[in-house]
Structure 1
């Protein structure tokens, strides 16, 4: 038996950073975004002994534990260690982790890995958690237990999936508003967007700490308020299908977000963004906390090819993607069905055997 968990990565359109305390507690935060068809996976194979072996396929790393001993974080796959402890895993197993995007990509990878882990573990133990409870558990393990700096949006986006407008007022006071967007609007939005990998790997915790330290500075605080207001405007324009306005609001949001911390952008990112604008893009933003990862660019369909060419010529790497409307999922598969066996097919005049 293999238990699998899968959670989708996300793109944030507006409001990024307002989901981080203390701003969201004192002022209220708001995020608009969607999940995409790139995922974090967790596979669990139960064992009959106390040995737990975790394989990170992305980092080519293996860590071993004993289910009867205390789980101690030692800097090696601490996300897994904390999840095992939170779910009170007392049985041996093999765990395999894999993510479709690298760490530091700005797509919420670490939180999405956590959600996939907890989703698979809950399925294994027969525990039923609704989306709010799962997202809050993932937040608690990552932000509280491990002390990793960050906001709330990634855990909720990965758990709920789809297009959401999420309002934050601190822990246990998060409201997820699913957006009912017409399918033709979603299709057109995806057609007019590009995802470009900048090649920079960033440490989001350092940028978030700098942002928090700037919270009381007037210009940074005003920028956060503007970013929040823009998320409401983006929601309205997206629901109405005014996509070019939505694209221009992305540009306003990016200009405001850069004022929240000097670490959010760098010369290479600015150069890629400027090249996209020169080729006809209406707006865009760097995903995640900043400093690197994926650049999201909105461009009218008739100049999209020109923007793509300009970005690639400047060193960007375009990724093929689409929106994903489902959130975290889990399922069980039977390993015995993977065994190779002769396949026989009886036809009216003859029996065929296929040796696989």
Structure 2
């Protein structure tokens, strides 16, 4: 039996510049970090000559081609599995349509676990590249490419993609104290609302092919990514909220689906919870909201948004890994 785990991620700047319609024409970059919330995959030999797959539902089939889960089917075919398996997945937090990169963390953990089952080592770079290949090329998903690298690697990184599909992962070189202060000032809340990213990303991918205005907005967001890298590596968090708030406003220009009246209402409540300190920055995602605020002000925000669930997290300093072999 093999158990693998791969971390989820949060992304700060550069969203959507990692869609093919943008990075195939322009240089793109994103800053993201893995967090200590995981997707777990277990793989074990099955006794009765069948394949059993358990995720949000359970499948039991006689051969790979009968599997309904497209990602798992393509991974098993790609890795040339021809024996019977029982595979399960578990998540630390609600992962379906969370906008935390959960589908890519699932793919990364699955590839990692199945390679380990065959006693094959796979590097972080190859793991991320194969996860991208499975999701984007084999399964035709209109998704971004950052999630696979954020999960396969670890910690706080600048991730750059070139037009030729090459990827550069560069750690953000700042003091441990800077990362700790950043980590301490972030708040994550679960909204109990989820929404599929696929339709939004597909529409944005198509729109950016010919929409010059959206391409210009994306280039501004990429510039913000390098501005943020500079601030972090100078150990300066004073402008962190400004950069991410500007990034949030640019994202709202990109699509009307990014926010809605409810999200805007939560955002306003958080601001009013402590209006005397005006550097509240950021709210995003459908499944989760993320705010940046001084640690001493967090309880005021939790009280104002009492209908949302507090999610404690830390940055992850380990990549996707095998945690059990028997």
Report the TM-score when normalising by structure 2: 0.93
Q: Do residues 153 (structure 1) and 146 (structure 2) align?
A: yes
Partner in structure 2 of residue 65 of structure 1: 61
1:35-74 superposed Cα distances (whole Å, 9 cap, x missing partner): 1000000011123553211112xx2x211233xx452453
Partner in structure 2 of residue 294 of structure 1: 288
SS of the residue 2:214 aligns to? helix
* Higher RCO (CA-CA < 8 Å; seq separation 6+): 2
Report the TM-score when normalising by structure 1: 0.85
**Aligned pairs for 1:117-136 within 5 A:** 117-136=110-129
SS of the residue 1:283 aligns to? coil
Q: Do residues 168 (structure 1) and 164 (structure 2) align?
A: no
Q: 1:244·1:282 contact (CA, 8 Å) conserved in 2?
A: no
Structure 1 unmatched runs, 5+: 335-356
SS of the residue 1:95 aligns to? strand
TM-fit CA distance, 1:214? 2.5
Q: Do residues 320 (structure 1) and 318 (structure 2) align?
A: no
**Aligned pairs for 1:337-352 within 5 A:** none
1:289-317 superposed Cα distances (whole Å, 9 cap, x missing partner): xxx111111002232222222222xx322
Partner in structure 2 of residue 28 of structure 1: 27
Q: 2:14·2:29 contact (CA, 8 Å) conserved in 1?
A: yes
Give the counterpart of 2:280 among 279, 282, 290: 282
Partner in structure 2 of residue 311 of structure 1: 305
Partner in structure 2 of residue 84 of structure 1: 76
Distance 1:50 1:29 in 2: 46
Superposition misfits of 4+ residues, deviation over 6 angstroms? none
Partner in structure 1 of residue 178 of structure 2: 185
1:3-38 superposed Cα distances (whole Å, 9 cap, x missing partner): 011100000011011001110110111010101000
In terms of Rg, which structure is larger? 1
**Aligned pairs for 1:123-272 within 5 A:** 123-170=116-163, 172-215=165-208, 216-272=210-266
1:209-238 superposed Cα distances (whole Å, 9 cap, x missing partner): 221233133432222111111111111112
Structure 2 unmatched runs, 5+: none
Q: 2:136·2:143 contact (CA, 8 Å) conserved in 1?
A: yes
Q: 1:129 to 1:170 in 2, by over 3 A?
A: farther
SS of the residue 2:16 aligns to? coil
Distance 1:170 1:53 in 2: 39
SS of the residue 1:22 aligns to? helix
How many residues are aligned here?
A: 320
Q: 1:248 to 1:282 in 2, by over 3 A?
A: farther
SS of the residue 2:155 aligns to? coil
TM-fit CA distance, 1:250? 1.1
Distance 1:174 1:309 in 2: 42
Distance 1:109 1:26 in 2: 27
**Aligned pairs for 1:2-41 within 5 A:** 2-41=1-40
Q: 1:71·1:82 contact (CA, 8 Å) conserved in 2?
A: no
1:82-127 superposed Cα distances (whole Å, 9 cap, x missing partner): 2222222111121110112321111100110111010000001122
SS of the residue 1:262 aligns to? coil
1:163-202 superposed Cα distances (whole Å, 9 cap, x missing partner): 1100012463111112233221111111111011222211
Q: 2:245·2:281 contact (CA, 8 Å) conserved in 1?
A: yes
1:250-293 superposed Cα distances (whole Å, 9 cap, x missing partner): 11110011111111111111111222233345211414xxxx11
Give the counterpart of 2:89 among 84, 88, 97: 97
Partner in structure 2 of residue 55 of structure 1: 54
